[in-house]
């Protein structure tokens, strides 16, 4: 199985993207990686890590890079040889089975839309992010692909999120909740109010009604549906909260008494599993669901660990045929046949 990696995407590219790819290949014997980007820079990193002769790591040269601060649409039109565009083309022409995109999210989504196209019945793809909760993992979508969604987009997201949760969580009938400002069906903005009755009628998903922001860390449902603006705010807030609380605990211990420091050392082994569960780098990235190919969007600040994990997850999604599952679901229960109050 070949995975294309946009080696030039992200804040720490190409060093961290290449190192993460090396680690992924070393740990997964069935995976091959195609590193897309500046051949000279990539080769030097492979050379420094004694991996130039590895038959499961190859380089595909791309002369341009789309920066994090560039307008996605304009950059895609001007930079035809950008690493993200070239990497996407490798999936489109079946040279590779999946792509890892750690650079600009906007450029990645645009490249996927133009390069791979949408699954029939999907108007807009969504980013499905695994969120750690007290009950395991909750899939939240959309977490950043679309800032202005209509009811039909949320319904399509619910369908795709349910299919993804089945594969990710191993649950035959995952529960689905609509993110809102209250549990009552009469609350919310116009988009949420129009979405609720449609989800309630659908037999193919296990809809449990509205959920509030505080319900996400409780893990009350397996899938949380929202628009990309709200989802991205929730995601970034959660990441910042974990980082802030961790720092507060460290500062409190270091400024405390000797007894506090001894106590911290004693409980440290018990806290390690919790810290690992809350560490967003353990997830590696989030799939862009709704396009014709496995497309993993990694954080712009991804280090080698996240890249390795994203590659592993992408390989797993290919093996589990996530695209085929979504295609089948959208054919059976396409959201376009429903009436909406818009």
Tokens of 303: 């280090």
Q: DSSP code of 320?
A: T
At the topology level, CATH places domain 1-122+290-322 in: Isopropylmalate Dehydrogenase (3.40.718)
The residue ranges of DSSP E strands in the chain, in sequence order, are 2-6, 32-37, 57-61, 98-101, 126-127, 129-133, 136-141, 175-179, 206-211, 223-225, 286-289, 294-297
3-state secondary structure of 177: strand
The total of other beta-carbon atoms located within 10 Å of residue 121's CB is 20
- What is the model's pLDDT at position 328? 87
Place of tokens 């969604």: 149
CATH 3.90.110.10 fits 123-281, yes or no: no
Whether 28 and 52 have beta carbons less than 8 Å apart is answered as no
Helices of type H across 202-340? 228-254, 258-278, 304-319, 322-332
- What is the model's pLDDT at position 265? 62
Residue 174 has, within 13 A of its CA and on its CB side, a CA count of: 27
Tokens of 338: 């429903």
- Give, for all 342 residues of the chain, the pLDDT tens digit: 999 999 998 889 899 999 999 999 999 999 999 999 999 999 999 999 999 999 999 999 999 988 888 887 787 888 889 999 999 999 999 999 999 999 888 889 999 999 999 998 899 999 999 888 888 889 999 898 888 889 999 999 999 999 999 988 888 899 999 999 998 888 889 999 999 999 998 888 999 999 999 999 899 999 999 999 999 898 888 878 777 777 776 766 667 667 655 655 655 565 555 555 555 555 668 999 999 999 999 988 888 999 999 999 999 999 999 999 899 888 776 545 555 554
Please state, in angstroms and rounded to a whole number, the distance separating the CA atoms of residues 190 and 31: 46
Tokens of 97: 């089975």
Domain ranges of the chain: 1-122+290-322, 123-281
- What is the model's pLDDT at position 190? 92
Please state, in angstroms and rounded to a whole number, the distance separating the CA atoms of residues 11 and 8: 9
């Amino acid at each position: 199985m070949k995975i294309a990696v946009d080696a030039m995407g992200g804040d720490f590219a190409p060093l961290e993207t290449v190192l993460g790819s090396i680690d992924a290949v070393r740990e997964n014997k069935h995976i091959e990686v195609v590193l897309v980007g500046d051949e000279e820079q990539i080769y030097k990193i492979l050379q420094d890590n004694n991996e130039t002769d590895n038959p499961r790591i190859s380089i595909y040269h791309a002369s341009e890079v789309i920066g994090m601060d560039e307008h996605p649409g304009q950059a895609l039109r001007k930079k035809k040889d950008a690493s993200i565009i070239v990497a996407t083309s490798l999936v489109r022409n079946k040279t590779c089975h999946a792509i890892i995109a750690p650079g600009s999210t906007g450029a990645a989504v645009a490249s996927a839309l133009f390069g791979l196209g949408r699954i029939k019945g999907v108007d807009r793809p969504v980013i499905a992010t695994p969120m750690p909760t007290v009950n395991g993992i909750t899939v939240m979508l959309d977490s950043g692909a679309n800032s202005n969604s209509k009811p039909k987009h949320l319904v399509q997201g619910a369908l795709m999120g349910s299919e993804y949760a089945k594969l990710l969580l191993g649950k035959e009938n995952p529960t689905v909740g609509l993110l809102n400002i209250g549990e009552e069906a009469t609350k919310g903005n116009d988009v949420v109010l129009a979405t609720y009755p449609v989800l309630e009628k659908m037999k193919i998903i296990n809809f449990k009604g509205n959920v509030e922001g505080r319900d996400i860390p409780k893990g009350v449902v397996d899938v949380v549906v929202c628009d990309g603006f709200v989802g991205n705010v929730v995601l970034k807030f959660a990441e910042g909260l974990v980082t802030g609380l961790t720092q507060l605990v460290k500062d409190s211990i270091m400024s405390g008494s000797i007894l506090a420091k001894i106590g911290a050392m004693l409980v440290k082994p018990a806290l390690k599993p919790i810290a690992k569960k809350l560490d967003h780098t353990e997830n590696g990235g989030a799939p862009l669901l709704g396009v014709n190919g496995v497309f993993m969007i990694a954080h712009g600040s991804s280090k080698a660990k996240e890249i390795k994990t994203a590659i592993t997850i992408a390989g797993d999604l290919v093996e589990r045929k996530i695209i085929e599952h979504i295609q089948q679901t959208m054919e059976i229960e396409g959201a376009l046949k429903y009436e909406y109050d818009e």
